[in-house]
């Protein structure tokens, strides 16, 4: 029988970093009966046995009542757990030992991993590992998941824990097993004698940086300046790679695919080359840009800077009925709206979660980013393109704040805002690469499903019924565009652009593939077609609408799963559509009125 090990610890202890260090790129998401959340899992060989490693949400207390703490309790009560790795921050060990003692009371074999040992050594913090092991009655390993120090000790320790463990290991009454608060304080106090923190152990570099980066006047401008530098780097380094990959796809099509498909019927050949290949290759050309963007964003995020942004934004977010955590979720949504929505579980208040979930789909996710990178590079100069992209990110944040301001009276929350600011850290190249690879892997999975199906559907709509002009007014796509013309023409969209927006509801990546199919071109040829069919005002109006309107299908499904409310999901779908139309209408008509 396959055994299961879980990772358990407080937020900001490096638990996910340890998971990535142990599993590399083998992680996947899984779900279990009775658990309303997908958790990261991976299979490992421990002591010759195949085991499943599960990364549970970060929690502070097994008695807590946040959604994450309820998820952890539900998992431990309903699933077979043969061992637990309790991850603690060695720099703050005394404050985190109470969770280890709670785990000890469950009777499940456990290993205590003292992470960030390198930082503890830099601050001259000394921990008597053997003494802590005696107090907690569990093996203790000092390690640094980021640096890979001590990782080789984990597998032998787990093998020893699992030896002979074949019975079901879970309890249906976790709260009944937990020690009293008085006993926990006694246990932690007894263990504290093995932790020596010198009086001079301070975070001098962090304090100096925070005096600048958290300054009440220029803290936020500095943060947005950092984001702007990230966008400039993406353009400067990513555009040449994107052009090179696009040229490679053109060569493959002409030199290899066209001769191979020459014997096929014209309809099938057109479907494969002009539909599937052109659509997918146009989207796939952005893989280098996606990797680069997330490498740079991982550098900003993993340093601890995003937590500072939440602190800086808390006062403003409070006026919107939110707190600084909501701003962090919006920033997470820049990668993908789905994990950002799931991240709202750290909020104990349901109404605060709902309001935060309502604004997250406004985030400019990586799928929209591909569309904007292409259109900005096609319709604007190299100097203006980064500014255009930066403006879209600002508008993304502003629409989120506007949405919160308008709906806060319907979602009133009183939960206090508590945020721990981690010290500044430089992420390792390995962790940054894993982050970039995870996003590309996610993109490739979507490309093999939603995007391929969407591109094929667009091609069929532009070529059917039989005998009509390709993408002409009598094709099914042309008919759909004609129906939507009264609604979308005031925004500057022609019939072809209107059709692409329909498929963008399934997945925003399909928008680029749809453009390639409709204009029967890719790469530089597609760029030439777009320059002839619209001007910069229409292009920016189109980007504004794409930025704000209804999120993709997977986001909508996640909204429903997290809210368990049809009415809320309907609101989260309908409101962005109306707001997108209004914003694009005001911009387009104003620009035309001014003579642009």
Query: Could you list the residue range(s) of the whole structural domain that residue 25 is in?
Result: 3-196
Task: Find the CATH number of the domain harbouring 40.
Answer: 3.40.50.300
| Residue 361 per-residue DSSP state | G
| pTM for this entry | 0.61
CA–CA separation, 145 and 418 (whole Å): 26
- Residue 128 CB-density burial (10 A; 0-12 exposed, 13-18 middle, 19+ buried): middle
**pLDDT given at position 421:** 66
Instruction: Answer yes or no: is 378 within a domain.
Output: yes
pLDDT 10s per residue in the chain (596 long)? Answer: 578 999 999 877 888 888 888 887 555 444 333 444 557 788 888 877 888 999 888 888 888 766 678 888 888 888 888 899 999 988 888 888 999 999 988 888 999 999 988 888 877 788 998 999 999 899 999 998 888 888 889 888 898 888 855 454 555 666 677 888 888 888 888 888 888 877 555 566 677 777 887 777 888 788 778 877 776 777 677 778 877 887 888 888 888 888 888 888 887 887 788 767 876 776 677 677 667 776 777 777 667 777 777 777 777 788 888 877 787 778 777 767 776 786 676 676 788 889 999 999 998 887 788 889 889 988 998 888 889 988 998 999 899 989 999 998 888 766 666 666 666 766 667 666 766 676 666 666 655 666 667 667 777 777 778 777 665 677 777 788 778 888 889 999 988 888 788 777 767 777 877 787 777 777 778 888 888 889 999 999 999 999 999 877 778 877 887 788 899 999 999 999 999 999 999 999 999 999 88
CA–CA separation, 163 and 51 (whole Å): 12
Instruction: Answer yes or no: is 574 within a domain.
Output: yes
Is there a single domain that holds both residue 260 and residue 165? no
CA–CA separation, 60 and 18 (whole Å): 18
With b for 16 or more beta-carbon neighbours within 10 A and e for fewer, the 196-234 pattern comes to ebeeeeebeebeebbeebbeeeebbebbeeebbebbebb
Structure tokens at 586: 């005001």
CA–CA separation, 476 and 481 (whole Å): 9
Secondary-structure percent of the chain, ordered helix, strand, coil, rounded to 5 = 65, 10, 25
**pLDDT given at position 34:** 40
Is there a single domain that holds both residue 247 and residue 293? yes
Is there a single domain that holds both residue 244 and residue 180? no
**pLDDT given at position 436:** 66
| Residue 58 per-residue DSSP state | P
- The CA-based diameter of the chain, rounded to the nearest angstrom, is 85
Is there a single domain that holds both residue 167 and residue 225? no
Please state the domain count of the chain: 2
Structure tokens at 448: 């093999």
* Cβ atoms of residues 520 and 528 within 8 Å: no
CA–CA separation, 511 and 157 (whole Å): 50
With b for 16 or more beta-carbon neighbours within 10 A and e for fewer, the 494-512 pattern comes to ebbbbbbbbbbbbbbbbbb
Is there a single domain that holds both residue 312 and residue 348? yes
DSSP 85-122: EEEEEGGGHHHHHHHHHHHHTTT--EEEEEE-HHHHHH
Is there a single domain that holds both residue 192 and residue 247? no
Distance of CA 247 to the CA centre of its chain: 30
CA–CA separation, 94 and 137 (whole Å): 16
Is there a single domain that holds both residue 405 and residue 502? yes
| Residue 447 per-residue DSSP state | I
Instruction: Answer yes or no: is 306 within a domain.
Output: yes
Last residue of a domain, one of 196, 212, 240: 196
Is there a single domain that holds both residue 183 and residue 242? no
* Cβ atoms of residues 109 and 165 within 8 Å: yes
| Residue 272 per-residue DSSP state | I
Is there a single domain that holds both residue 191 and residue 43? yes
Instruction: Answer yes or no: is 104 within a domain.
Output: yes
Q: What's phi and psi for 519, nearest 5 deg?
A: -90, 0
**pLDDT given at position 447:** 56
**pLDDT given at position 483:** 84
CA–CA separation, 328 and 426 (whole Å): 19
Taking residue 298's Cβ as centre, other Cβ atoms within 10 Å add up to: 20
Taking residue 474's Cβ as centre, other Cβ atoms within 10 Å add up to: 11
- Residue 585 CB-density burial (10 A; 0-12 exposed, 13-18 middle, 19+ buried): middle
**pLDDT given at position 414:** 64
Instruction: Answer yes or no: is 421 within a domain.
Output: no
Q: Kindly compute the dihedral angle of the four CA atoms of residues 308, 309, 310, 314, in this order, to the nearest 10 degrees.
A: 110
Instruction: Answer yes or no: is 215 within a domain.
Output: no
Q: Which residue has the tokens 């014997």?
A: 263
Instruction: Answer yes or no: is 299 within a domain.
Output: yes
Instruction: Answer yes or no: is 209 within a domain.
Output: no
Strands annotated E in 386-492 = none
Is there a single domain that holds both residue 239 and residue 155? no
Is there a single domain that holds both residue 180 and residue 298? no
**pLDDT given at position 220:** 78
Is there a single domain that holds both residue 192 and residue 282? no
* β 39-46/49-55 pair status: antiparallel
Last residue of a domain, one of 196, 231, 260: 196
């Amino acid at each position: 029988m396959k055994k299961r090990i879980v990772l358990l610890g407080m937020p900001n202890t490096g638990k996910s970093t340890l998971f990535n260090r142990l599993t590399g790129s083998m992680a996947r998401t899984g779900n279990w009966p009775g658990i309303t959340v997908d958790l990261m899992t991976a299979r490992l060989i421990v002591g010759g046995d195949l085991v499943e490693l599960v990364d549970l949400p970060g929690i502070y207390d097994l008695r807590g009542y946040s959604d994450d703490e309820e998820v952890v309790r539900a998992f431990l009560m309903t699933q077979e757990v043969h061992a637990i790795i309790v991850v603690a921050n060695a720099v703050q060990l005394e404050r985190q030992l109470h969770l280890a003692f709670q785990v000890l009371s469950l009777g499940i074999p456990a290993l205590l991993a003292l992470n960030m040992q390198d930082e503890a050594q830099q601050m001259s913090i000394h921990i008597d590992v053997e003494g802590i092991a005696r107090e907690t009655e569990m093996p203790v390993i000092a390690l640094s998941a980021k640096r890979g120090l001590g990782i080789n000790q984990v597998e032998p320790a787990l093998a020893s824990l699992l030896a002979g463990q074949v019975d079901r290991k879970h309890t249906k009454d976790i709260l009944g097993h937990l020690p009293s608060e008085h006993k926990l304080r006694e246990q932690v106090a007894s263990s504290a004698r093995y932790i020596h923190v010198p009086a001079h152990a301070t975070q001098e570099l962090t304090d100096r940086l925070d005096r600048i980066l958290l300054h009440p006047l220029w803290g936020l401008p500095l943060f947005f300046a950092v984001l702007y530098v990230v966008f400039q780097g993406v353009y400067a380094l990513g555009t040449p790679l994107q052009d090179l990959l696009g040229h490679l796809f053109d060569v493959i099509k002409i030199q290899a695919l066209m001769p191979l498909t020459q014997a096929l019927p014209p309809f099938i050949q057109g479907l494969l080359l002009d539909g599937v290949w052109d659509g997918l290759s146009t989207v796939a050309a952005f893989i280098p840009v996606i990797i680069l963007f997330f490498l740079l964003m991982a550098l900003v995020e993993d340093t601890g800077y995003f937590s500072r942004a939440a602190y800086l934004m808390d006062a403003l977010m409070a006026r919107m009925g939110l707190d600084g955590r909501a701003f962090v979720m919006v920033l997470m949504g820049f990668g993908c709206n789905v994990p950002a929505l799931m991240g709202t579980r750290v909020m104990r208040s349901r109404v605060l979660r709902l309001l935060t979930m309502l604004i997250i789909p406004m985030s400019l996710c990586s799928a929209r980013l591909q569309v904007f990178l292409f259109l900005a590079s096609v319709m604007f100069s190299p100097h203006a393109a980064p500014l255009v992209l930066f403006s879209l990110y600002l508008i993304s944040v502003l629409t989120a704040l506007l949405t919160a301001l308008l709906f806060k009276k319907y979602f009133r929350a009183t939960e206090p805002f508590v945020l721990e600011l981690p010290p500044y850290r430089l992420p390792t190249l390995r962790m940054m690469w894993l982050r970039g690879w995870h996003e590309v892997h996610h993109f490739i999975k979507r490309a093999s499903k939603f995007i391929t199906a969407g591109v094929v559907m667009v091609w069929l709509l532009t070529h059917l019924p039989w005998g009509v002009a390709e993408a002409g007014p009598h094709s099914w796509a042309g008919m759909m565009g004609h129906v939507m013309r009264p609604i979308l023409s005031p925004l500057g969209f022609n019939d072809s652009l209107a059709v692409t927006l329909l498929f963008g509801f399934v997945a925003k990546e399909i928008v680029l593939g749809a453009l390639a199919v409709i204009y029967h071109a890719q790469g530089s040829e597609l760029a030439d077609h777009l320059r002839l069919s619209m001007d910069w005002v229409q292009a920016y109006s189109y980007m504004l609408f794409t930025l704000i309107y209804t999120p993709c299908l997977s986001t909508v499904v996640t909204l429903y799963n997290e809210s368990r409310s049809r009415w809320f999901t309907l609101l989260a779908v309908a409101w962005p559509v109306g707001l997108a139309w209004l914003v694009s209408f005001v911009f387009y008509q104003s620009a035309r009125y001014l003579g642009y």
